[in-house]
Amino acid sequence: MLQWQQWNRKFKAVLWTLALVGVVAALPLGVLRWQMEGTSKQVEYVMNYKDIELVASYQYNPAAFIDKQLEQMKAAGVTTMAVFEATLDDLVTAKRLNVYNQSQLALLQGKAPNLGLNETYVLFAGNEEEQALKPLITSAFERAGISVSPWAMDGRSGLQISAPIETATLISMDPDPIAMDRIHAAGFRILPRISDRIRPYNETEVRALLEQFKSYGVDRILFDGSAVKGFNDNAELHSLNSFAALLKEEGIGIAAIEGLKSPQSGFNTLAYLTDYNVVRLHSIPSALAATISPETLKDRFLLAAKDRNIRMFYLNAGASRSLDKGGVVDPLDKLVAALQGPDGTIQKLADFGFSPGPAEPFDVDHPSWTKAAKAIVCLGAVSMIALLIGAFANWLTIIAFVLGVIGSGGLYVLSKSTLEQGLALGAAISAPTLALIWVLNVIRRRTEGNRRNVGGEWSGNNRSQSVAQSAAGFEGATGRYTKWTSLLGDVFGIGRIKWIFNGIPAGQRFGNAITLFVFASLISMLGIPYVFGLLNNITYSLLLEQFRGVSLLHLAPIFLVALYLFLYMGSSVLENIRKLLSIQITVFWVIVVAVLGVVGLYYLSRTGNEGQASSLEMMMRNTLETTFGVRPRSKEFLLAHPLLLLGLFLALRYRAAWVLVIVGSIGQLSMVDTFAHIHTPLQISLIRDLLGLCLGAAIGCVLIAVWQLGEGVWRRWVRPAIVKYAE
């Protein structure tokens, strides 16, 4: 058994070598991603044309209002108008036609209604509308199995539809050709929004529709509804493959909407079939557009383009009634004001390198050597995980590595994506945990040495000199130990523990703390190349696929560091477990556990993209964004990094300060987690980590100075006063 333990210890050198080789192999994969992220810098500004028509329908002269808005939007920098599949209701709003049911028609004609049938009557506004819309309406209803026949009233042409008006107004048709002609003539690009509501899928009709779009210069479409075109008929008609082939034939890409509660069905498959000719789109809802300030809109767009690879911005603008203003109000003029001008949103993004223009997909390069490089990265990740297991159970090191290699090979056959995500998560957890385990071991060697038990028994009659000095300072001449030291003794499994270490001057402790902080951060950052090296697929950058297990990454290093501190930093592990289990559970401990639970829930609520920030924090974030161009993570530079540096400084003198290493693990894991947001450019993530480290270290140095000042005040004035009072 002893020889097996020695083999495992020696094998760790091999594992560290493989881990470092894996890091080196991941760097070229990171370079490829860095280059890819620089291939698409233009951003496209899209306005919902349907909303403009809706607002215009409440105006005195709708046509003149639309013309005015198109001029203003073009002057402001909006380049594209989004058009939807039409319904009869939409065409009524656009003043193309009128729709009546039997009762309405009878009232209009002054006749008694025919109560036998529920039919719908369409009356065109003029000859232009009839020529453009009659074929569109007839085709849509006949496709739905509803008969349509000519009809007229008072010299105006129309259609009689054999369906109740409630049904007729819900039938989807191709986009309004009159609207597209108007938009194109005004000099705008067109972004069609099509759905899978027009069924069954007909390849001939879809081809004709895409050819029509191409005649207007369309090079990208956006889907409306819960599914992409062709999804529902794919099982019978293989319609997704057909639609993807038609898109590639016409050179038309697709857009992915950011922040949907559930992805549009079939989108990932269609993205794959179109060779990921995809751009990400960020939408401003109508309700937000009515209240958002120009400054907030600028910051929101810039953050989306810079931090989340957004290349299309979609503006909505609904109308609402206002008693205060005595009419119908809309945010169109406000949006124009926010976009245009030298201080507007579009110019601000252009100043940051995101010029307005057609959104383009990322240019993805897949050299032949990437497979070999990723295989080496996988081997390095297995080595990193085996090192972590070996830190807790040395005899399992070799076994963990062998099983990891075999399991990775099997998982590669079953699910390549699961393998990559699993190894990336394992390496991301292992690196910061190993870094802080190394820190704890260095601290123990420089304070206790390699001995497990140091000092005399913890009792009122047998004190070590250092504890006696502390107790005398705090309790005075009574000679009794304080409650807080007894409590800490219980936590650490009381026995032969020394709580204060003498002999290392403050200057040397500060230098050691800086050194430990730097090396711990470097070891933690070894996990970063494994994240971007293993998850280098374009699907992660486009957020079509997400890195699973991020919540585990936020918790596992904290738990593992705490476990190592409480079980491996005293006497034997079994003895420490026995003493921890024998601690008497009091109301105090119940309160401590409750507080830790609340803190943990709050910590988890603030991780990821769902966390909510206060107005004060938002102001601070905006200040940091304005000052540095990239906002470092608050929990890193305000909490974890400063407390880790302070903890390292104090840990070389006070054993209780070792607990601060647990808090510091938040910052170390957060540096790796920053790169788990694959849709954020590598350059931004790297700057964010380095800024967090530098600012956190600066704040940590301030905390150390404050502590030293406080200690000086305590030794010179407060402690003598307490001792004098006690005597």
Which residues lie across from 257 on neighbouring strands?
Answer: 281
Cα separation, 309 vs 677, whole angstroms:
11
Q: Across residues 587-613, what is the average pLDDT?
A: 62
Q: Which residue has the higher pLDDT, 723 or 659?
A: 659
> pLDDT-based confidence at 133, cuts 50/70/90?
very high
> pLDDT-based confidence at 455, cuts 50/70/90?
very low
Q: Examine the pLDDT at 4 and tell me if it is beyond 70.
A: yes
> pLDDT-based confidence at 617, cuts 50/70/90?
low
Q: Are 579 and 495 in contact (CB under 8 A)?
A: yes
What pLDDT does 458 receive?
35
Q: Tally helices (H) and strands (E) across the chain.
A: 33, 14
pLDDT digits (tens, 9 = 90+) for 547-567: 988 889 999 999 999 999 988
Neighbour-count burial of 103, counting CB atoms closer than 10 A to its CB (0-12 exposed, 13-18 middle, 19+ buried): middle
Cα separation, 335 vs 345, whole angstroms:
10
DSSP 687: H
- Sign (positive/negative) of CA torsion 410, 415, 418, 424? positive
What pLDDT does 615 receive?
59
> Which two three-digit tokens encode residue 296?
């907030």
pLDDT digits (tens, 9 = 90+) for 645-700: 999 999 999 998 999 999 999 999 999 999 999 999 999 999 999 999 999 999 99
Q: Which of 443, 656, 436, 437 is nearest to 568 (CA)?
A: 437
Q: Kindly list the structural domains of the chain, giving each domain's residue range(s) and its CATH number in brackets, ordered by start.
A: 2-37+366-448+501-608+632-726 (no CATH), 40-86+173-361 (3.20.20), 88-171 (no CATH), 451-500 (no CATH)
Instruction: Mention every residue, 6+ apart, whose C-beta is less than 8 A from residue 31.
Output: none
Q: Examine the pLDDT at 589 and tell me if it is beyond 70.
A: no
Half-sphere exposure of 27 (CA within 13 A, CB side): 7
Q: Are 58 and 95 in contact (CB under 8 A)?
A: no
Which of 105-114, 421-430, 460-469 comes out lowest in average pLDDT? 460-469
pLDDT digits (tens, 9 = 90+) for 283-318: 999 989 988 888 889 889 999 999 999 999 999 998
Q: Across residues 410-431, what is the average pLDDT?
A: 95
| Length of the chain (residues) | 727
For 260, phi and psi rounded to 5 degrees? -65, 145
For 482, phi and psi rounded to 5 degrees? -80, 160
> pLDDT-based confidence at 611, cuts 50/70/90?
very low
Pairing of strands 120-124, 97-100: antiparallel
3-class secondary structure, 225: coil
What pLDDT does 476 receive?
38
> pLDDT-based confidence at 496, cuts 50/70/90?
low
Q: Examine the pLDDT at 642 and tell me if it is beyond 80.
A: yes
> pLDDT-based confidence at 606, cuts 50/70/90?
low
What pLDDT does 614 receive?
57
User: What is the share, in percent, of the chain residues with pLDDT greater than 70?
Assistant: 88
What pLDDT does 605 receive?
60
pLDDT digits (tens, 9 = 90+) for 74-83: 999 999 999 9
DSSP 476: G
Q: Across residues 401-430, what is the average pLDDT?
A: 95
User: What is the share, in percent, of the chain residues with pLDDT greater than 90?
Assistant: 71
What pLDDT does 430 receive?
97
Cα separation, 310 vs 304, whole angstroms:
6
Strand ranges in 291-426 using DSSP code E only, listed in sequence order: 310-315, 320-322, 327-329
Q: Which residue has the higher pLDDT, 613 or 27?
A: 27
Is the N-terminal amide bond of 200 cis, ω within 30° of 0? yes
Cα separation, 240 vs 254, whole angstroms:
13
Cα separation, 192 vs 180, whole angstroms:
9
DSSP state string for 560-624: HHHHHHHHHSSS-HHHHHHHHHTSPP-HHHHHHHHHHHHHHHHHHHTSTT-----HHHHHHHHHH
pLDDT digits (tens, 9 = 90+) for 471-494: 333 333 333 334 444 444 544 444
- pTM of the predicted structure, to 2 decimals: 0.86
- Mean pLDDT computed over every residue of the chain: 88
pLDDT digits (tens, 9 = 90+) for 24-44: 999 999 999 999 999 999 999
3-class secondary structure, 193: strand
Q: Across residues 247-258, what is the average pLDDT?
A: 97
The helix or strand, by DSSP H or E, that contains position 254, with its residue range, turns out to be: strand 253-257
> pLDDT-based confidence at 607, cuts 50/70/90?
low
Question: CB pairs under 8 A, 24+ apart, for 566-574?
Answer: 566/491, 566/492, 566/493, 568/392, 569/440, 569/444, 569/658, 570/452, 570/453, 570/492, 570/493, 570/495, 570/497, 571/452, 571/453, 571/493, 571/495, 571/496, 572/452
What pLDDT does 583 receive?
72
Q: Examine the pLDDT at 451 and tell me if it is beyond 80.
A: no
pLDDT digits (tens, 9 = 90+) for 180-230: 999 999 999 999 999 999 999 999 999 999 999 999 999 999 999 999 999
Q: Which residue has the tokens 């506004």?
A: 125
Q: Which residue has the higher pLDDT, 634 or 125?
A: 125
Angle, helices 177-185 vs 127-143, to 10°: value is 130
Q: Are 530 and 666 in contact (CB under 8 A)?
A: no
> pLDDT-based confidence at 593, cuts 50/70/90?
low
Q: Examine the pLDDT at 609 and tell me if it is beyond 60.
A: no
Cα separation, 566 vs 584, whole angstroms:
17
Q: Which of 283, 291, 302, 281 is nearest to 334 (CA)?
A: 291
What pLDDT does 621 receive?
67
